[in-house]
Amino acid sequence: MSRTASLSQAWKKPPDGTYKMNWDASLDTTRGLVGIGAIIRDSYGRVLGTFRARREITLSPYAAEVYALMMAILFCKEAGINEVTLEGDSLQVVKKLKDSREDWSPGGLIVEDTRAVLRSFAFWNVCHTKRDGNVATHLLAKDALLSEFDLYDLEEIPNCIKQVVASDAL
C-alpha cells in the first residue's frame, strides 16, 4: 500500500439510528465570496438533505469554516434533526468547538453563537475528518459559489455530488 493510500480517509457512516452532518466552506477571495456546503446522512448513508449557500463576505479561511458550520447547524435545526454528529475537515474549528474557553476573536464569536444553538440540541458531538472524507461537502461549497440563491434539497441529491455519494455508499 502506498503512503498516499494509507493517509486517505473515506466518508464513514454514523452509528445505527444516528445522523451525521458534514460541512465545508470554499473561498473566492478575488470576488469576496464564501461558499457553504452541508450534507445530512443517516446510518445507512442515505442523504436526508443538502444545503448550499453563497455569501458576499470576506473572511479568513478559519472564520469561513466556522461560519459554514453555524449555517449547517441551523440547516439541521430547520430539518428537524436535533441529535447529530458534526464532521468537518477543519481541525482548528473542531478543536475550538470542543474547547469550552471563550474566544473573543471574530471566528471565536461565531463559535460561541454556534455553541448557543447547539445547547438546544438533544445530543451532538463533533469530529474531524480529512478532506478525502469530506468530498461531497467540498463540492457543495464550490457549487454554492456559482449560485445567487440558497439551495435546500431534501431527500434529493444534487447533480454536483451524485457520483461522490454513490461511491461513499460502497
The residue written with cell numbers 468530498 in the block is 135
Give 90's contacts (C-beta < 8 A, 6+ positions apart).
61, 62, 65, 128
Give 133's contacts (C-beta < 8 A, 6+ positions apart).
9, 10, 11, 12, 87, 89
Asked if 83 and 57 touch (Cβ cutoff 8 Å), the reply is no
Domain presence at residue 51: yes
Domain presence at residue 2: no
| Alpha carbons 170 and 165: distance in angstroms, whole number | 9
Which runs of consecutive H residues, i.e. helices, occur in the chain? 3-7, 61-78, 91-98, 106-118, 135-144, 162-168
115 grid coordinates: 455553541
Residue 4 has pLDDT above 60, yes or no: no
Domain presence at residue 12: no
Cα angle value 124/46/89 (rounded, 5°): 50
Per-residue pLDDT of 12-57, as tens digits, reads 888 888 899 999 999 999 999 999 999 999 999 999 999 999 999 9
Q: What is the CATH number of the domain that holds 149?
A: 3.30.420.10
Domain presence at residue 111: yes
Tell me which residue range forms the domain holding 156.
Answer: 17-168
Per-residue pLDDT of 45-102, as tens digits, reads 999 999 999 999 988 999 999 999 999 999 999 999 999 999 999 999 999 999 888 8
pTM: 0.90
Domain presence at residue 45: yes
Domain presence at residue 4: no
Q: Domains in the chain: how many in total?
A: 1
Closest C-alpha among 130, 151, 150, 129 to residue 85 = 129
Domain presence at residue 9: no
Domain presence at residue 7: no
